Amino acid sequence: MAKIIPATDIDFARYYGGVEVTGRWVGRAMWRGRMIAGFGGLIETDAGEWFAFLEVPREERKPHVFRHVLAAISEAREQGAKVIKATCDTSIPRAEALMNHLGFEPTEETHEGKAVWHVRF
């Protein structure tokens, strides 16, 4: 099983090919040995509005990931998140169920061909 830990700026850059985040964000890195196998987090896109993302390899999509998702959402809320948006890839089994379980609802928006969902606090 992979190890999930709070992510650093270096982890973000390593996983996303040198991308540097200049605003506020929180995240988790999924480590398998010396390699980052997955990544998830939230980035502040506007005052009080954050965008969530989660990339987990198929073989690591297990229930224990859920508590890390909740922890990251909690951190974003502590930093002032009032609205969190995310896309939902319905080709991933149970992705919609996860969004519903987290309290997200679909919007009329799309991003990169995927429906945008949101949750308000």
Domains of the chain: 3-120 (3.40.630.30)
Closest Cα partner for 98 from 46, 43, 40, 47?
Answer: 40
Instruction: Write out pLDDT tens, residues 14-71.
Output: 999 988 899 999 999 999 999 999 999 999 999 999 999 999 999 998 888 999 999 9
Global pTM value: 0.91
Residue 94: the pLDDT is 87
